[in-house]
Structure 1
Amino acid sequence: MKLLKLLTHRVTLVVLLLLLQLALLFGSILFLQDDFVYFYVVYIIVSVAAVLHIINDRSQPAYKIAWLIPVTLLPIFGTVIYIVFGRLRVSKKFKQRMELVFQKEKEAVKETIPYLEIEDGNLDAIFQSNYLTNKGGIPIFKNTTSEYLPFGEQAFASMKEELEKAEKYIFMEYFIIEEGKMWDEILEIMVRKAQEGVDVRLMYDDFGCLFTLPEGYHKKVEKMGIKCSVFNPFVPVLSSIFNNRDHRKMAIIDGKVAFTGGINLADEYINEIQRFGHWKDNAIKMEGDAAWGFTLMFLSLWDFQRPEERPYTDYFPGYTEQKNAVGYYQPYTDLPFDNEMLGENVYLSLIARAKKYIYITTPYLIIDNLLMEALCTAAKGGIDVRLQTPHIADKAYVHALTKSNYEQLIEAGVRVFEYSPGFIHSKTFVVDDLYGTVGTVNMDYRSLFLHVECGVWMYKTEAIPQLLNDFVETEKLCEEITLEKARDIRWFTHLGRAILNVFAPLM
């Protein structure tokens, strides 16, 4: 039965159709070789064009190298694979729809969000905020309280509590959803609220849920009274667009409360099931003005997927004074379609402005030269730079790539800690008791350059000391990786990591 289920699964059928298309494509090329002279001329022209395109592309040097190798070492086949999968191509209609969505978002920002400046004159904070406003589109907010939730179990309980309070709308957007305790309990609340007349919407990534939800699950959800949108449906057509996934995680209630962080809606995120030891994850709850920023981010992507006739301002909840609110919050989203590496630039900016310490948690550490040099330079300059990564891998090859970066970082003075109880999935920065970010952006190529991501940048908020405390407490459960241990690997392990590193940007 398991074999039959595997053979009839949508993934199997899609993979077979994709392989058939590749076979037909390569078969056509081999057939054309009978006219060798003409074929060779065409091949040379196409290969040179591909190499020139790669070299002159604005993407990261590591990404270029990863494609130049198969294009130059695997004649014909490497070039074809690059043409099919290596270039992000979006249609004119795609661009027009995106421009329309951006315009509606800008109008809503202008009508609902008053201009705000950081009042203490900190130029480092002002610079970071200005960049996010100019390139991310969502301005900075005050009048917001927050609670950092250092474990998925706490986030789950808090989300259910807030969902029960919904009066107007619930917007949920997640990369992975899986039926089980966590999702079933959240879905029950959503269905009940929809029956009460609340506008309930769900958006999930099709690729992220390939093995966790049955085919056509969105139709089942629609029958329950919940509006549902599937991001970038996985279809059997050769295209680079497969690489671009919606990796965001957010829950918004009435535009007044918003959650984001590392957790998806599946039982392993709350340790109901354990596959990689204890799963350490997080979320942050924001109540107040900043929740409206997340609402706009959700509406714009929803509008792109399912055109929204109503203006976004119809969902504006108004502003209610939040007692004891301190600091500044700036929600941001990173898109792979605009040639702006916003997620990476948030991290680089935080590193560059550190004066005392940089504490980072990340499940994956597969970074480009910019981030590597920034972290090493900060440590060499006397900044206390620390990284927390998993001890137990969820993906062996990704963990191998993560470990391959330890030696260079530790040599520079960066301290690396592995979370001994299991897998750490949080994505956080806390810097100098002043700055922090919580969100969905992993320190790997997929998150930084290929996925739709989100997060919140913070300055002097109540969540900053909570972030710091969580890092300090988690470190007590970690094993520090020494330089000797980082170097103590067999030659074939070193060789394997070296090969993986070449193609890391494509993984």
Structure 2
Amino acid sequence: MKKSISFLAICFIVAAFVFASGSPSLAQQKPSMAAVDVFDELNRQAGNPTALARLLTDNNESWYARWYVMGRAKKSIDVTYFIVEKDVFGMSMLGMLLKKAREGVKVRLMMDARGTKELTRTMLGQDYLQELIAVPNVEIHVYNPASANIISAIGNIRNLTGSNHDKIIIVDGEWFICGGRNISMNYFVDPSDEPTVYRDTDVIIKGKKAIAGIQRAFDEEFNSHMVFNVTRDFFGNWSSRAHELELARVAMQSYISGMGLPKAPAGSKYADVLARYTGELAKYKKMQSYSGYDPMNGVHEYPIVVLDKHSFKGKRNDITPAISAFMKTARKEVMVQNPYVVLTPEAMDALKAANANGVAINIHTNSPVSSDSLLTQAFFLEDWPNILKNLPNCKLYAFNTVRKLHSKTFVFDREITVIGTYNMDYVSEQINSEVVVAIKSRDFGQRTALRILNDEKESVEYKVKLNQDGTPQPLFGPESHSDPKKIDLLNKLRKLGFLRSLI
């Protein structure tokens, strides 16, 4: 695995200093450095950036925050997402970008080819993107299109599956949003309107001193050799799609502002298009309180660090060693909220080090009831008893609701919070590009930890006991509360172990 030495050298120094000795007495001692010391060094290397930061756990508010920053753009908007759906959220975002581009704002947009299939297909889905790139100050890239990598995938399947998993919006070199949410109704609709939507976490940041790290993360992927530049068709669109994007934007603005659903004039040729968008929005009763929204109301300024990771073909990986260092130097508690837990050797080693130091470990993840990934759950079904065996100080909770967990959040000693796109699996560690934001604040850390603990009220705790031979015997696990048919399917999928490092 390739790593960025210049930015994360301190993490290797910490790990080597604390854990190099094989002495049993040393292994039981607290590390001489704390997680907060690791953060301070990373922050120093980044130029000591601070910024206003707001935790975004509510789905509706997370959409309001995106709408707010894009709507106020005067100079530039940089956007990259793994998934952008062709629902009213994706289309209205494209409509907002088109509006801003026509106002003279520089727009750069990137979508992942694997995550965003409909909008990025060369012959079938790029009509809407053509409307944006018809404006001179717009640039659009597609990350790792399948058409360019089918042959190379024969030698290495990662050439086809490697993705840009980043989720970033940067506005005017002052605002940015980063976290787990893609652009789709599944991430922004209130669960009272649709019970199966995701539970996710983002952070919105305001502060010019904090932009350099996130801007670098965007630029390095946007300009990488794995992108395809969307160019204007020679004849453009035979039929303009700009009105569809504009109608989506207008409908979204009106509805979330509490002004109701717009109606098309009698005889309008676009009535059916507008009806499609208003039909979607009408189902989301809770999403009508945007008017007067201010994401920075009552927030505080904190030290922050942006940690980035390239896809497998790049050189940078600031995230994995930093997470490991935070775990190894935590003094009291490590909290991990993550949808996909398929622990790599490095992740397990870091958690074992925390456990050896007497640190309480709290892991919150999906169960077969809530997960959207059967293969991940299949391997988790195999792994979870040994996780508890190897980590006696660990409590393991699994969501027991139809709502799906998608939050990728870490809290160390209730003082260092990490929020972003990084999953606890092989794909995030070794294949995809990822980005996270680390924040130093006891107040922010405590609020994030309490939100995780609140999620655990809708969860079940998995437990084991150790047999005399040391093997773990489940007392309560996935089989105890999940559909037997799904468990049977997961047990069959466990045989596909060769896919463990690819999902």
TM tier relative to shorter chain: 0.5 to 0.7
By how many angstroms is 1:426 displaced?
Answer: 0.8
By how many angstroms is 1:302 displaced?
Answer: 2.5
- RMSD, aligned CA: 3.6
In 2, Cα distance between equivalents of 1:261 and 1:442: 11
| Aligned: 1:418 with 2:398 | yes
| Aligned: 1:264 with 2:182 | yes
Share of identical aligned residues, percent?
Answer: 19
**Residues 207-261 of structure 1: CA deviation (Å, up to 9, x unaligned):** 1112565533533432366321111222142333223211100001101011000
**Aligned residues, how many?**
377
In 2, Cα distance between equivalents of 1:131 and 1:293: 12
| Aligned: 1:499 with 2:409 | no
By how many angstroms is 1:498 displaced?
Answer: 5.4
By how many angstroms is 1:342 displaced?
Answer: 3.2
Q: Which residue of 2 aligns with 1:283?
A: 202
| Aligned: 1:229 with 2:141 | yes
Match of 2:116, SS state, is coil
| Aligned: 1:159 with 2:66 | yes
**Contact 2:143–2:228 (Cα < 8 Å) also in 1:** no
Counterparts of 1:129-278 in structure 2, within 5 Å, are 130=41, 139-211=46-118, 214-217=124-127, 218-223=129-134, 226-235=138-147, 236-239=150-153, 240=156, 241-271=159-189, 277-278=196-197
Counterparts of 1:93-492 in structure 2, within 5 Å, are 124-128=35-39, 130=41, 139-211=46-118, 214-217=124-127, 218-223=129-134, 226-235=138-147, 236-239=150-153, 240=156, 241-271=159-189, 277-288=196-207, 289-304=209-224, 325-335=300-310, 336-338=312-314, 341-391=317-367, 392-411=370-389, 412-413=391-392, 414-421=394-401, 422-460=403-441, 463-483=444-464, 484-486=475-477
In 1, Cα distance between equivalents of 2:194 and 2:374: 13
**Contact 1:146–1:462 (Cα < 8 Å) also in 2:** no
In 2, Cα distance between equivalents of 1:224 and 1:276: 39
**Contact 1:140–1:330 (Cα < 8 Å) also in 2:** no
**Residues 252-286 of structure 1: CA deviation (Å, up to 9, x unaligned):** 11010110000001111123799982410121001
In 2, Cα distance between equivalents of 1:221 and 1:146: 31
**Larger % of helix: which?**
1
In 2, Cα distance between equivalents of 1:403 and 1:487: 7
Q: Structure 1's 401 and 151: CA in aligned 2 closer, same or farther, altered over 3 A?
A: farther
**Residues 105-141 of structure 1: CA deviation (Å, up to 9, x unaligned):** xxxxxxxxxxxxxxxx97654445546887xxxx154
In 2, Cα distance between equivalents of 1:294 and 1:264: 17
In 2, Cα distance between equivalents of 1:498 and 1:374: 25
Q: Structure 1's 257 and 341: CA in aligned 2 closer, same or farther, altered over 3 A?
A: closer
By how many angstroms is 1:499 displaced?
Answer: 3.2
Q: Report which stretch shifted further, 263-272 or 435-444.
A: 263-272
In 2, Cα distance between equivalents of 1:224 and 1:152: 32
Which of the pair has the greater relative contact order for Cα pairs under 8 Å at 6+ separation? 2
The answer for unaligned runs of 5 or more in structure 2 is 5-31, 230-296, 465-474
By how many angstroms is 1:458 displaced?
Answer: 2.0
Query: Letter of the aligned partner of 1:397 in structure 2?
Result: L
When the two structures are superposed, what TM-score results if normalisation uses the length of structure 2? 0.67
Q: Report which stretch shifted further, 121-130 or 152-161.
A: 121-130
Query: Letter of the aligned partner of 2:186 in structure 1?
Result: E
The answer for unaligned runs of 5 or more in structure 1 is 1-57, 61-98, 100-120, 309-321
When the two structures are superposed, what TM-score results if normalisation uses the length of structure 1? 0.66
Query: Letter of the aligned partner of 1:163 in structure 2?
Result: M
In 2, Cα distance between equivalents of 1:388 and 1:168: 40
